[in-house]
Amino acid sequence: MLIFKKVADLQSWIAAERAAGRSIGFAPTMGALHDGHMELVRLSRRDGHSSVASIFVNPTQFNDPKDLEKYPRTPEKDIALLHDTGCDALFMPPVEEVYPAGEKVSIHLDFRQLDEVMEGVFRPGHFIGMATVVHRLLDIVHPQSLYMGQKDFQQLTIVRDMIRQLQMPIELVMCPTVREPDGLAMSSRNMRLSPDMRAVAPVIYQTLTWAGTEMRRRPASAIQTEAMERLRQAGLRPEYVDIVDGISLLPVEHWDDSDFIVACTAAFAGEVRLIDNSVFKEM
């Protein structure tokens, strides 16, 4: 696996790959990698691409500076994992390569309600920061296919909308959430859970699964209220459980109201904020 720190070096390698008739599959990450991230690389390789991953802890998408400071960084382990998974190239740029002084990298897009609901309520500015860095990385890599996890469902929905609005010639591939054996969605943040909270955290997935079985029988608002209560009873501090349409992210009240229904949640387990989701009905 090749490791690039400079945009120009990565781009000359990509140009050579293209000249040799190979396509590029791209998986952007913030590092502290685990098997969920590896799934993105595996799917990119399965689809026959030269696979490029990036590790960049993007300062502009953290609304809480403490969260940025505490974000785990495990570069040696990340490199070993990517190498063993067969990643072809890793881009690990310093901040000034991604945001060069004097160069305009900001984007002005109206995501309508997409960045205002759910995570948008609790992490103001987060999605504009995320969309800006993903746009900048796509502008550097120009992949044929972009691999993102279902785990961050709202993020993926907003990136889908950005690709559509800007008519970027990129296929977005949603990779299923990789979970621990007890159901907890793999996350870089899990390593910060106390043993007690690690034991409780699978209740998030259990609650989403329960909500999925209720959805055909009861209105979503009642399920959401009970799901919040189940999370609280388990010792978690939920911020929201929202059952929404998978494209517009607007609330769905009844099973027949939408062809694509997803339940999304965020809950604190001690000091660690976890998110997860479950697709109830897919197009």
* Chain residues in the site for ligand AMP (CB under 6 A): 29-30, 36-37, 39-40, 148-149, 151-152, 175, 177-178, 185-188
User: Is 37 part of the annotated catalytic residue set?
Assistant: yes
Counting Cα atoms < 13 Å in the Cβ hemisphere of 1 gives: 21
- Positive or negative, the Cα torsion across 75, 144, 119, 265? negative
Counting Cα atoms < 13 Å in the Cβ hemisphere of 129 gives: 15
**In the complex with ligand AMP, which residue's Cβ is closer, 3 or 218?**
3
Angle of helix 75-85 versus helix 35-46 axis, rounded to 10:
30
Least separation in angstroms between CB 29 and ligand AMP: 4
Least separation in angstroms between CB 151 and ligand AMP: 4
Alpha-carbon distance 131 to 127, whole Å? Answer: 6
256: helix, strand or coil? helix
Asked if residue 175 lies in contact with residue 39, where contact means CB atoms within 8 angstroms, the answer is yes
Asked if residue 23 lies in contact with residue 109, where contact means CB atoms within 8 angstroms, the answer is no
Asked if residue 51 lies in contact with residue 84, where contact means CB atoms within 8 angstroms, the answer is no
Q: Which of 37, 49, 126, 135 is catalytic?
A: 37
**In the complex with ligand AMP, which residue's Cβ is closer, 63 or 225?**
63
Least separation in angstroms between CB 56 and ligand AMP: 9
**In the complex with ligand AMP, which residue's Cβ is closer, 36 or 212?**
36
**In the complex with ligand AMP, which residue's Cβ is closer, 103 or 282?**
282
Pairing assessment for the beta strands 89-91 and 2-4 based on DSSP bridges = parallel
Least separation in angstroms between CB 186 and ligand AMP: 4
**DSSP H or E stretch at residue 11:** helix 7-19
Provide the strand spans (E) within the chain: 2-4, 24-29, 50-55, 89-91, 145-149, 171-175, 237-245, 261-269, 272-281
Least separation in angstroms between CB 85 and ligand AMP: 13
Asked if residue 147 lies in contact with residue 28, where contact means CB atoms within 8 angstroms, the answer is no
**In the complex with ligand AMP, which residue's Cβ is closer, 29 or 85?**
29
Give residues with Cβ within 8 angstroms of 84, minimum separation 6: none
Least separation in angstroms between CB 254 and ligand AMP: 29
**In the complex with ligand AMP, which residue's Cβ is closer, 39 or 97?**
39
Active-site residue list: 37
